[in-house]
Structure 1
């Protein structure tokens, strides 16, 4: 994306020469003060030579300010981000383009772009001279370990005279936004859906509609197989009618993110909540790569990309936009003020959700019961349970009793969930494999918990 604007010459700025005098540098103010002092002394002492020196010292910064104020060249600036959306911990490059659109060469130009502190130091560049119609390009890198949306700009241009007596600042109006999305970790391919509820290898069977106006059966179209002609309907309607055929439809996956403030403790990139957000982003990206139609659901009942016909995205050419929308949502998501999971459950019980992958924080007895009921509408349900108390505890500390967490896991597993506790420091890819082993009864998480 490129945004830009034009920085006009000083004569177009309001305030006249008074605005130019406010741009005097320390050197210019010192010359002006010394000149005035010399003129006063020359008048008191009657020294003509001292008067000439004082006038020279006082007039020089004023002349520089007037000349800089009446500079008539115009400079256009633009900014380009590559890329505009970057994972946390990765770098993006910002390109600044400056075009001299006037007929006069510029003098010394100093560029300064405004960036948030979290992205790094404020970049500054010096351009010596730009010929009429010339262009200069400079770039700098930005990086953030914290997800979010960060404004860049506006770009500031400083004009300076050759003697360094005066500097004027002009600002462009355009701004850009850098989106830092959660870190996405690659996940191993595993068999995600079971066959007990008719999902097979993650594929459902549905009728292949050629359009919204199709009925059973539909009219013959050029290229249809004559073996699909429905003769009874043909005789009834007086034209060739064909049967619809079945074809595979993309399986669905809902990623549920528990963002309740009461469910998580701690802040920062190493907190349990940030792990859950990154886990949700990794799961969404992985499922889209595998051809699933996906959606993001929060504890407040908010569904992304939306509440359309089915609320899912991934089975249309606009899937890339939907994936970007979900990542943008995760980039700025924060703790919710809700205290329960009932709103999310109301959304889930509305229909068959296919695969359900949930990232839960701390669950009390009531919310664990609500979460247990969520698996009834799913072909398969996988839950990652983050115990904030255990997560924030240092490894050297005495471990707390795990009875409460084990009770929650047992309840979820008995209700049909493939439930795993998330120890601190264990990557999602390892837990992803463990979920497959737990589904097939080949392993437990005891090894991972022992390493935590």
Structure 2
């Protein structure tokens, strides 16, 4: 197990080893100079660490931990509260000890500290027999993580022996991608000049009825006359949503270009894992792309749309699959998929299959979150503008986007918004362009 790398048996400290060395030297000096007091002192210094070691072997601390985590399902940036109650079931008290809770990605200072002495089970004061470890973290990374177990670095009162104790078991938590309220969808206007009005319902001023643009074939009985008079164009009620009210989000999961990947600093928590080397740094571009995809899905879903998520790459032995969420169901399934998805250059490109699936749907909003896709795959995705209403491309890049790339989208009929993870406000677009085709 990974935690075996940090959990250690009882061992002497450098102080104990130093006392033994000094004791041996004093014994040798006593023989050379014939001084009995040196021999007695040397013997005491040698025996003391041995006695401490034997006693600590016999009396091993028995600790129990009960951990409470809230919430166990959260999003990136949310704060998670962890409270662990430690009880001493041993007949002897536990000396003050430093502790560390295993939590990948967290700073040791936020999940570690020093716990006061814990009284033995014969102590009548219940508060003395238990201690509480509590902390909050808001730096959890996307994915499935384990909180715990709790580790104690325990040293005896004389500082001659020490052991690392593992207390309790790990608790699993899920960290979903961050979802933000994108202002005006953070993309350029749709065909009506408003906030993606071709695909997302708007609220009428009269009685808060959700409305949208009139589409050919809509029954006249669904026209909302007050909203129509206010907008100056036909608006229909969006009170009922049908199967054709589908929105599509495509996430670019192509691998980053071959560059030397930076390494994140190694912390004491990383040493508890089985990996021998440093952790890989967070791919800020991809994390922002995933959050944008999740935010767009959440926004469409909030307006009553059936949502469908595609990825540009699929497993080598499988077809490109979508995650479809009806408007009346929660987004739990698609959020769990986004929680686990990772860019992988070895995955098979499935853009042609994605385009074929989407082309079978009636004109619908299509949002494409673009990173590094190129070649025929990118050309296939751009061709979706002919069936999208509207076609929205969110380009994520920490470098300036070449003008040729922007032009290739706008000339193909895509509205474009550019985002950068290096900005102070990464969810605000750096640049917005409207389609020219």
TM range (shorter): 0.5 to 0.7
- 3-state SS of the aligned residue for 2:12? coil
Any residues of structure 2 matched to 1:400-419 within 5 Å, and which? 402-411=403-412, 413=413, 418-419=414-415
Relative contact order (C-alpha < 8 Å, sep 6+): which is higher?
Answer: 2
- 3-state SS of the aligned residue for 1:137? strand
Report what 2:156 is aligned to: 161
Deviations 1:372-391 (A, max 9, x none): 4435665x343224275xx5
**8 A Cα contact 2:78 2:138, kept in partner:** yes
Greater share of helix: 1
Is 1:328 aligned with 2:328?
Answer: no
Closer, same or farther: CA 66–90 of 1 in aligned 2, 3 Å: same
Give how far 1:352 is off.
Answer: 4.9
Closer, same or farther: CA 68–377 of 1 in aligned 2, 3 Å: same
- 3-state SS of the aligned residue for 1:170? strand
Closer, same or farther: CA 44–374 of 1 in aligned 2, 3 Å: same
Give how far 1:257 is off.
Answer: 0.6
Report what 1:355 is aligned to: 365
Closer, same or farther: CA 69–158 of 1 in aligned 2, 3 Å: farther
Report what 2:48 is aligned to: 60
Report what 1:219 is aligned to: none
* Structure 1 gap ranges (5+): 1-9, 14-18, 206-247, 394-398, 439-443, 447-452
TM-score (norm. length: structure 2): 0.66
Give how far 1:299 is off.
Answer: 0.6
Closer, same or farther: CA 176–197 of 1 in aligned 2, 3 Å: farther
Report what 1:41 is aligned to: 29
Closer, same or farther: CA 272–110 of 1 in aligned 2, 3 Å: closer
- 3-state SS of the aligned residue for 2:181? coil
| Count of aligned positions | 356
Closer, same or farther: CA 293–131 of 1 in aligned 2, 3 Å: farther
Closer, same or farther: CA 263–288 of 1 in aligned 2, 3 Å: farther
Report what 2:16 is aligned to: 28
Report what 1:422 is aligned to: 418
**8 A Cα contact 1:255 1:280, kept in partner:** yes
Report what 1:346 is aligned to: 356
- 3-state SS of the aligned residue for 2:134? strand
Any residues of structure 2 matched to 1:99-114 within 5 Å, and which? 99-114=87-102
Q: Alpha carbon RMSD of aligned pairs, Å?
A: 4.2
Deviations 1:5-48 (A, max 9, x none): xxxxx9xx9xxxxx54xx11122222222222223333444332
- 3-state SS of the aligned residue for 2:325? coil
Question: Which residue of 308, 312, 323 maps to 2:324?
Answer: 312
- 3-state SS of the aligned residue for 2:406? helix
Give how far 1:90 is off.
Answer: 4.8
TM-score (norm. length: structure 1): 0.64
Distance in 2 of aligned mates of 1:353 and 1:128 = 68
Is 1:83 aligned with 2:96?
Answer: no
**8 A Cα contact 1:362 1:386, kept in partner:** no
Of the structure 1 ranges 119-128 and 170-179, higher mean CA displacement relative to structure 2 is found in 170-179
Report what 1:284 is aligned to: 297
Give how far 1:167 is off.
Answer: 0.9
Report what 1:196 is aligned to: 215
**8 A Cα contact 2:367 2:391, kept in partner:** yes
Report what 1:97 is aligned to: 85
Closer, same or farther: CA 406–293 of 1 in aligned 2, 3 Å: same
Distance in 2 of aligned mates of 1:83 and 1:255 = 28
Give how far 1:98 is off.
Answer: 0.9
Closer, same or farther: CA 198–298 of 1 in aligned 2, 3 Å: farther
Give how far 1:153 is off.
Answer: 3.5
Give how far 1:298 is off.
Answer: 0.5
Give how far 1:56 is off.
Answer: 1.7
Closer, same or farther: CA 301–166 of 1 in aligned 2, 3 Å: closer
- 3-state SS of the aligned residue for 1:93? strand
Any residues of structure 2 matched to 1:178-189 within 5 Å, and which? 179-188=174-183
Distance in 2 of aligned mates of 1:150 and 1:201 = 44
Distance in 1 of aligned mates of 2:304 and 2:243 = 10
